[in-house]
Amino acid sequence: MSQTVTKEGITEVGTMKRDHYSMIINGERVENSNGEVFETFNPAKGEAIATVARANKEEAEKAVRAARNAFDFGKWRKYPVGKRARVLNKIAAIMRERFKELVEIEVLNSGKSVGAAQVQINQSIEDFEFYAGAIVGHRGEVNNMPYGFFNYTHKEPVGVCAQIIPWNYPMMMAAWKIAPAIAAGCSVVVKPASLTPITAIILNEICHEAGVPEGVVNTIPGSGEVVGDYLVQHQDVNKVAFTGSTPTGRDIMEKASSTLKRLTLELGGKSPNIVFEDADLEAAVPGSLFGIFFNTGQSCEARSRMFVHESIYDDFMEGFVEKTKKLQLGDPFDKGTHVGSIISRAQLEKIDSYVQSAVEDGATILTGGKEMKIEGFENGYWYEPTIITDVSPEMKAVREEIFGPVVVVEKFADEKEVIKRANDTEYGLGSAIWTTNQARATRVAHQIEAGIVMVNSPFSAFPGTPFGGYKQSGFGRELSVETLDLYMEDKSVLSYYGSKPLNPFGV
């Protein structure tokens, strides 16, 4: 069952007018062949807001076939880069026109605060604008050769890409992956998270409205165990880009190895936040607050391990606890709300289990540490912003990714010591340094084993800044010019232009 996606059909859809979302395959709205659907929820209220067509292997195969045909026989990869760039800019323009709608749907489907959603939708728009500009100047090279030979490298799109999107940044992560892939000339099959599939589906519709040909972008909501596994192992998928947990990333890497797929993995984190004795506390306190509690702590680069120099520990913690207690939780559409809901009951219980394990291990909770009931949102999933002290390195809450509004805080005495402790983790995604000593900032930044180092800044990324991790936080960099190369192959073309024929064997 399918229905052609048209511009008129898209623009008639308002935020509150639609209670069912279909898959998008080859430019058509497609339902499951057996009529299977699943409900998607507003976690702030614990209420279903729409049904979504469930993809299984049959639909995944259709999506791969559509993407393969679009790549092998379609016109998108053959477009001049300037024409592809104009389409990407058109996508961004339509997203700006529908900004309020996209923000509202993102809030409804994820429970995040409207302020967080506005930032993320805006960056999603900027991602398409960034890659529209980046692809125009992205080219191969001419290399120095012996006399009589000419060599250049030609960049070609890698092919069909499976892109597996997490639930914590539904639209933004989709934009991070779709924009560079289609800018490079690839075709994609997007599998959004089952908890938050709506904005990825709408983004696919916007791509078609902007002029992306049928089959270049396909979106199939479904389970990771069925749809994700099928895409990862499919021989006609050339590349997989995944953002999610480290255990799932390992599984994807193993399964993709059978066909030697290109991989980009942006995985878990347990990022350190180091506050030195010379830090400007007026910046470090609110910056550290944002670093852990933005997006309800449900962020891979959340600065969830805090190290504070012993000489300023009391002053810093007094301000940090005070500001944490002032954070507003409640109606996600209220502009005064700082912290939204947890994504699901299961995730809330996981967060609480980590907090309780810390208490059992002898840690102290300075504030928070329990589920909340919010008036008007009693059935939603809410957890108090939590600060834990008196921790030790072997504690589960210190070593493992909690993925919620929970920070563990430790004292340190000197620079060498804190670098060693900051690096004592299997992860290496983000990190933050607060100091007014630029030499120290540079020295420490170069020793931290992480792909991202924030110096006196709560913000981890803008379009153009490479985003990715060391160690078990994955590999590959997104959000930057270099990302385009993850979706391209370099072909070396070597020509001989000498006047005499070459006869290496001399026969």
pLDDT score for 3: 44
Whole-number pLDDT of residue 104 = 97
Residue-wise pLDDT tens digits, 307-353 = 999 999 999 999 999 999 999 999 999 999 999 999 999 999 999 99
Residue 86, pLDDT above cutoff 80: yes
Percent of the chain with pLDDT over 90: 96
Cα torsion through 461, 463, 464, 466, rounded to 10: 40
Q: What is the CA radius of gyration of the chain?
A: 24
| Mean pLDDT along residues 244-258 | 97
Kindly indicate the confidence band of residue 70, based on its pLDDT and cuts at 50, 70 and 90: very high
The CATH class given to the 20-267+473-492 domain equals: alpha beta
Provide mean pLDDT across the span 360-364: 98
Catalytically active residues, by annotation:
266
Instruction: Count the residues in the chain.
Output: 507
Report which DSSP code applies to 283.
H
Residue 412's pLDDT is: 98
pLDDT, position 5: 41
Q: pLDDT > 70: what percent of the chain?
A: 97
In this prediction the pTM is: 0.95
- Mean pLDDT, rounded, for 266-284: 98
pLDDT at 17 over 90: no
- Domain ranges within the chain, ordered by starting residue: 20-267+473-492, 272-455
Which DSSP state fits 218? E
The residues that bridge with 362 in the sheet, in sequence order, are none
Q: Supply the DSSP string of 150-167, one letter for each residue.
A: EEEEEEEE--EEEEE--S
Tens digits of residue pLDDT in 407-451: 999 999 999 999 999 999 999 999 999 999 999 999 999 999 999
Fold exhibited by the domain 272-455: Aldehyde Dehydrogenase; Chain A, domain 2 (3.40.309)
Q: Is the pLDDT of residue 65 over 60?
A: yes
What is the full DSSP assignment across 327-384? --BS-TTSTT--B---S-HHHHHHHHHHHHHHHHTT-EEEE--SEE--TT-TTS-EE-
Those residues whose C-beta lies under 8 Å from the C-beta of residue 464, and which sit 6 or more positions away, are 130, 479, 480, 481
Write the DSSP symbol of residue 297.
G
pLDDT at 18: 84
pLDDT for 57 equals 97
What mean pLDDT, rounded, does the chain reach?
96
Q: Is 8 a residue whose pLDDT tops 90?
A: no
Confidence of residue 14 (pLDDT cuts 50, 70, 90): very low
Q: What is the pLDDT averaged over residues 364-384?
A: 97
